[in-house]
Amino acid sequence: VQELLELAKKYQVQDFQFVDEAIRPDCFAEMVEEMDKHPEFRTIQWFYYSRVSRAYTEELLRKAKRNGCSMVMFGVETLNQRLLKHIKKGINAETSKYCLRLFHECGIKTHAWLMCNLPSETLEEAKEDMEQVRELDDVIDMFCVGPFCLYKNTDMYSNPGKYGIVSVNDKDPLRFQSQN
């Protein structure tokens, strides 16, 4: 927090992006508590990436908003619980919806990263996923849908059959065929 204040003063910047795969909610809470001790944060804007979690509370998010948090970006991937379990994301769809609603209600913009063409995903599931996104349009400020990529050195690549992947193009991680 002190370094951010020094950078803001030295370079006369008021906007920061925390580039981290996902700041854990406990670290976020500590950071916000420290920011709250410095009134200068009322003039600084920042956003960050986070994993969805039930650990977020309205009190914490209102304090974060007061201290400059303007947006959060979540790796939602899909709102389909079967697919979340299948790809071993480690989250559930209801927690994603909870976070999107809570952050939005606290005045923090929400950005959802979504994926299409997940292993074993059916066309019907893809359509249902987009319908759920439409139903949440009042709490999702921005979203981006990108294709799933099958990368080497992952469990899915090493054990494709376990994920319903029937063939893989070794030269292009976007090209694979799954059971659906």
**Rounded to a whole number, what is the distance in angstroms from the first to the last CA of the chain?**
48
* d(C-alpha 130, C-alpha 151), whole Å: 25
**pLDDT tens for the 180 residues of the chain, in order:** 999 999 999 999 999 999 877 788 999 999 999 999 999 888 999 999 999 999 999 999 999 999 999 999 999 999 999 999 999 999 999 999 999 999 999 999 999 999 999 999 999 999 999 999 999 999 999 999 999 988 888 999 899 999 989 998 878 877 888 887
Task: Supply 152's token pair.
Answer: 């080497």
Each as own residue / partner, the long-range contacts of residues 126-133 (CB below 8 Å, 24 or more positions apart, any chain) are 128/80, 129/78, 129/79, 129/80, 132/79, 132/80, 132/93, 133/79
Q: How far is CA 70 from the centre of its chain?
A: 15
pLDDT at 169: 85
Within 10 A of 178 (CB to CB), how many other CB atoms are there?
A: 19
Q: What is the Cα–Cα distance from 28 to 22, expressed in whole angstroms?
A: 10
Q: How is the beta sheet containing 45-50 ordered, strand by strand? A: 15-23, 45-50, 69-77, 109-116, 142-147
Beta bridge partners of 111: 73, 142
Residue 98 structure tokens: 């909870």
Give the per-residue pLDDT at 174.
Answer: 74
DSSP 72: E
**Owner of token pair 């921005």:** 142
The pLDDT value given to residue 92: 95
Distances (CA, A) of 167 to 88, 132, 143, 172: 20, 30, 30, 12
Q: Is the pTM of this model over 0.85?
A: yes
Amino acid at 131: E
**How far, in whole angstroms, is CA 62 from its chain's centroid?**
19
What tokens appear for 80 in the block?
Answer: 């389909």
